[in-house]
Amino acid sequence: MTVRIGVIGTGMIGEEHSRRITQTLTGGAIVAVSDVNAEQAQAVVERLGLDARVYASGQELIAADDVDAVLVTSWGPTHEEYVLAAIEAGKPVFCEKPLATTAQGCRNIIDAEIEAGKRLVQVGFMRRYDSGYQLMKEAIGGGRLGEPLMIHAAHRNPEVPERYVTPMAIHDTLIHELDTFRWLLDDDYKSAQVLFPRKTRHAHSKVEDPQMVLLETVKGVRIDVEIFVNCRYGYDIQCAVVGEEGIAHLPEPQALQYRQAGKLASEILQDWKKRFNDAFDVELQAFIDGAAAGQIGGPSSWDGYAAAIAGDVCVKAQESGAIEAIEMPERPAFYG
Ligand code: NAD
Ligand code: ISE
């Protein structure tokens, strides 16, 4: 069975995901697209050679009889409305991060999904599908490291545009780590603090850069994450889990080593698309297979909600400079 997919939001990642579903993955076909910028949607149809109808609105696309499943890849503030509409229509929906821009928005989605009686939402936290992070999870779960005690991590981008402002370091960037560490450790957060080191001269006036986020989990694991979005040299994701019996480091992306001109060197990626290319493939294949089987798995609405709650507290901590408490409501049995 081919899962007939409608894509809402045909910008950068909407096009990327449409390309991979059409050219790399199996079992799915893009039959519908929609974007507030209709010309943009039409251009993607033409560039990718899709046999897809362009809908004037996301709501019409969701309601279409020949759309079995929905991809929401529009701007964050529009996600909640589309995910709710897909749940209402009983259609599986893959939603890029963030699930919603407020914790309340995520809660609304959870309530609707529970009301619908089955999981329909997969959130685009693709790091869970990255082979390096999966090895780390196995090492932690298998007890090889003993109990995890600390995580040292970094999320570095070469540069960010003018529209990237201080809270985006949390909502746009750290949000991936906020999900990944909960998943790696099978734990939740208890507190957050954000420190601002000396600012790089490469950052524009509306963004504090770099930032250091300090998290504590319920089980007492201490985590430090450096967010440095104008680091200049490349896109660099680092993670080391320190356990009682040893340390596990996230593998570096595969790269040739050169011995040349008196130097030993290897290239550093510049772009998150390449760094997580394989993870995006695996996550979307899982969504297509889940939609075909009527069984959606992977990062859930609850995970989107948990990351949003922690993210909101981190933004509060940016503003207060204090250690702020993170309180997670009890997880409904529906989410296992
Ligand atoms: P983008 O600006 O390139 O594309 C977003 C598209 O959504 C635009 O074409 C815009 O016209 C369209 N849009 C806006 N409002 C809409 C509406 N109401 N209905 C339909 N379309 C609408 O942005 P992007 O970089 O592709 O990011 C899109 C989403 O994907 C964001 O939520 C972003 O956080 C997420 N994202 C995730 C990753 C990841 O690593 N998982 C990476 C990049 C972006
Ligand atoms: C971007 O929005 C993403 O989601 C990428 O995965 C992330 O690493 C990058 O820093 C963000 O800008």
Is residue 330 in a domain? no
| 16 CA to centre of ligand 2 in angstroms | 14
Q: What's the confidence (pLDDT) of residue 1?
A: 87
Burial 86-96 (b: 16+ CB within 10 A, else e): bbebebbbbbb
The finding on whether 78 has its CB within 6 A of some atom of ligand 1 is yes
Is residue 234 in a domain? yes
Is residue 71 in a domain? yes
pTM for this prediction: 0.97
Report the C-alpha gap between 309 and 302 in whole angstroms: 10
Q: Which contiguous run of DSSP H or E holds residue 42?
A: helix 38-48
- Asked if residue 134 and residue 87 are part of one domain, the reply reads no
Residues of the chain falling short of pLDDT 70: none
Show the tokens assigned to 314: 């981190």
- Asked if residue 158 and residue 73 are part of one domain, the reply reads no
- Written as one string, the DSSP assignment of 128-152 is GG-HHHHHHHHHHHTTTT-SEEEEE
Is residue 333 in a domain? no
| 149 CA to centre of ligand 1 in angstroms | 36
- Asked if residue 157 and residue 100 are part of one domain, the reply reads no
| 305 CA to centre of ligand 2 in angstroms | 18
- Asked if residue 291 and residue 259 are part of one domain, the reply reads no
Is residue 325 in a domain? no
The finding on whether 172 has its CB within 6 A of some atom of ligand 2 is yes
| Ligand index nearest the alpha carbon of residue 73 | 1
- Asked if residue 313 and residue 187 are part of one domain, the reply reads yes
Domain coverage including residue 21: 3-127+278-299
Report the C-alpha gap between 211 and 197 in whole angstroms: 6
- Asked if residue 63 and residue 144 are part of one domain, the reply reads no
| 27 CA to centre of ligand 2 in angstroms | 27
Structural domains counted in the chain: 2
Tens of pLDDT, residue by residue over 273-288, are 999 999 999 999 999 9
* Ligand 2 pocket, mutate which of 79, 123, 159, 173 (most atoms under 8 A from CB): 173
Atom of ligand 2 nearest to the CA of 172: 2
The finding on whether 157 has its CB within 6 A of some atom of ligand 1 is no
- Asked if residue 47 and residue 111 are part of one domain, the reply reads yes
Is residue 323 in a domain? no
Q: What's the confidence (pLDDT) of residue 148?
A: 98
- Asked if residue 258 and residue 173 are part of one domain, the reply reads yes
| Ligand index nearest the alpha carbon of residue 175 | 2
Q: What is the CATH number of the domain that holds 156?
A: 3.30.360.10
| 272 CA to centre of ligand 2 in angstroms | 6
Report the C-alpha gap between 260 and 119 in whole angstroms: 53
- Asked if residue 201 and residue 173 are part of one domain, the reply reads yes
Closest CA to 174 of 151, 198, 153: 153
Asked if residue 41 lies in contact with residue 57, where contact means CB atoms within 8 angstroms, the answer is no
Report the C-alpha gap between 122 and 80 in whole angstroms: 13
The finding on whether 177 has its CB within 6 A of some atom of ligand 1 is no
Report the C-alpha gap between 126 and 282 in whole angstroms: 8
- Asked if residue 148 and residue 284 are part of one domain, the reply reads no
Q: What is the CATH number of the domain that holds 92?
A: 3.40.50.720
Q: What's the confidence (pLDDT) of residue 71?
A: 98
| 172 CA to centre of ligand 2 in angstroms | 6
Tens of pLDDT, residue by residue over 2-49, are 999 999 999 999 999 999 999 999 999 999 999 999 999 999 999 999
- Asked if residue 137 and residue 212 are part of one domain, the reply reads yes
* Ligand 1 pocket, mutate which of 7, 72, 75, 160 (most atoms under 8 A from CB): 75
| 110 CA to centre of ligand 1 in angstroms | 22
